[in-house]
Structure formats: C-alpha cells, structure tokens
Amino acid sequence: MKVGFIGLGNMGSAIARAVAKCDGVSLLLSSHNPAKAGKLQEEIGGELLDNAAIAAQSDVVFLGVKPYQVADSIKELGASAENDSVWISMATGVDLATLAELLPGHDLVRMMPNTPVAIGQGMTSYSSQSQRGKEIFQTLMAHSGKVVEISEGLMDAATAVAGCGPAFVYQFIEALGDAGVQNGLSRAQAIEMAAQTVLGSAQMVLESGQHPAQLRDAVTSPGGSTIAGVVELEKNGFRYAAISAVNAALKRNQELG
C-alpha cells in the first residue's frame, strides 16, 4: 500500500512515524519545507515527491495542511487526485461534507490525533463516511495508540480535549517541575518526577476503571499534606482553568471551521 503525506508539520510527521511501523507500507512524503521532509525521510524511509505525484500514486493520502489551505491545496492537484484513493484529513474544523465537495467519489476520513501518536501513545478520534475508509484508517493507525470512532458532531470537542490537551498537560508538568526546583530538586530530577507522576496517574485511570475522584481520594489522607495541596488548587481555580482552556480551544476550533 502506498501511503502519501501532503504536509509534514508536527502532526503530519507524528502520524508518518506511526504509519511507518506498519508492514507492507510504502511512504510518499511531501512538504513545503524540503529540509524537514528530508530529515524525516532519513528517520523513517520513504520517497520524496511533489504533491501532484503523491495524489496520483497513493492508495491513501494523509492531508496535513492548515485548515485555510485545504481547498486551495486540493484544487491545485487537479486531475492528479482523480484516482480511487482514500483521503484522510487532519485539518481542524473542515468537515466531511466540505471534503466531499472537494474530493468527489473518494472515501474520506476526518481525524484528530495528538502528537504522542509518534511514540505509540496517542489519542486519535475519527469519523468516516465509508466502511472501506474506516478499515484502512484503523489498519494504518494500529501503532499510534488509542483510536476511537466518534460522530462528526463531536469532533470539535474531541479536538479540544485530546488534540489540544497535551499542551495543557505539558504546562502542568512544567509547573510541577518548577515547584520541585524551587524546593531544592535539580531541574532534571523535578521534570522526571513530574512526568512519571502524570504518566503513572493516567495509566491508573485507564487500567483501574475508577473515577479520577476515587483515585484522588485514595491519595488524600485526612489532615495530610495532599489535601492541603488540593485545597490550594481549588482556591486558585485549577479545575475551572482546565475547563475554560478546553472551552476556549473548542470555540477556536469552531471559528477555524
């Protein structure tokens, strides 16, 4: 199967790294930044081609351009995009109906991954308008982490939580690390402790099946140090800030659409 990538930004490159782990796949790569594309090629293999060649030769095309570039990018391909390929878009806010107008007759998938797909720990939501597109997409994303099909109407919400979420988590890890440094830990020690704590806590949520509040209570002894910290988080609007961040991201997703 020839799998093409038009656009190799941070997200497109992350997905290419995950797809490269699949057996029987030949990668075709294109980017407006030849140096970046060449560096990725050295890492994962594949062939560097222009956009028209990728559209003409690929069985599957991952479209990784910015939302405002989608229409122009597809129109520029002209007859090159008229084969029976599956097109997978990761453009925020560009719905399947719009893609169908631009790519009539193709099997289409709309996806929203996050950058941890590059290391097999991603969270990807997708919607598909065909069984063929769904099956091919699931096969190619098998090494990316968790993949969940959702109704397209929930895509903006999923993007705000999982697509934008890593940035919020990184900011939290950085803050925990700063507190560690403030209190005598080295920067390396503090970041390692903070990152592993977030990783382990997340895994506990996924594997235990318990509500996060239950797991929090298991750590929170009466009158202890943890509850003192929890009270400070509540006092400073920690949960409200997290909810507001997701809602702001959701609003922006809708504006981009």
Tens-digit pLDDT profile for residues 139-149: 999 999 999 99
Q: State mean pLDDT over 76-87.
A: 87
Structure token digits, residue 122: 């991603």
Please write the tens of the pLDDT for every residue from 137-173: 999 999 999 999 999 999 999 999 999 999 999 999 9
Report H helices in the chain: 10-19, 34-44, 51-57, 70-77, 96-102, 131-140, 155-158, 165-182, 187-208, 212-219, 225-235, 238-256
Angle, helices 165-182 vs 187-208, to 10°: value is 130
Q: State mean pLDDT over 234-255.
A: 95
Rounded to two decimals, what is the model's pTM? 0.88
Please write the tens of the pLDDT for every residue from 99-115: 999 999 899 999 999 99
Q: Residue 256: what pLDDT?
A: 79
Q: Is the pLDDT of residue 33 over 90?
A: no
Mean pLDDT, all residues of the chain? 94
Q: Is the pLDDT of residue 244 over 90?
A: yes
pLDDT category at 131 given cuts 50, 70, 90 is: very high
pLDDT category at 191 given cuts 50, 70, 90 is: very high
Q: Residue 83: what pLDDT?
A: 84
Q: Is the pLDDT of residue 82 over 90?
A: no
CA distance 239 to 116: 24
pLDDT category at 120 given cuts 50, 70, 90 is: very high
Pairing of strands 107-112, 122-128: antiparallel
Instruction: Indicate the fold that domain 2-150 takes in CATH.
Output: Rossmann fold (3.40.50)
End-to-end CA gap in the chain: 31
| Residue keyed to tokens 């050295």 | 42
pLDDT category at 37 given cuts 50, 70, 90 is: confident
Instruction: Indicate the fold that domain 165-256 takes in CATH.
Output: ProC C-terminal domain-like fold (1.10.3730)
CA distance 50 to 34: 10
Q: What are phi and psi of 34, to 5 degrees?
A: -60, -35
Percentage above 90 pLDDT, the chain: 86
Polymer length of the chain:
257
For the chain, the structural domain boundaries read 2-150, 165-256
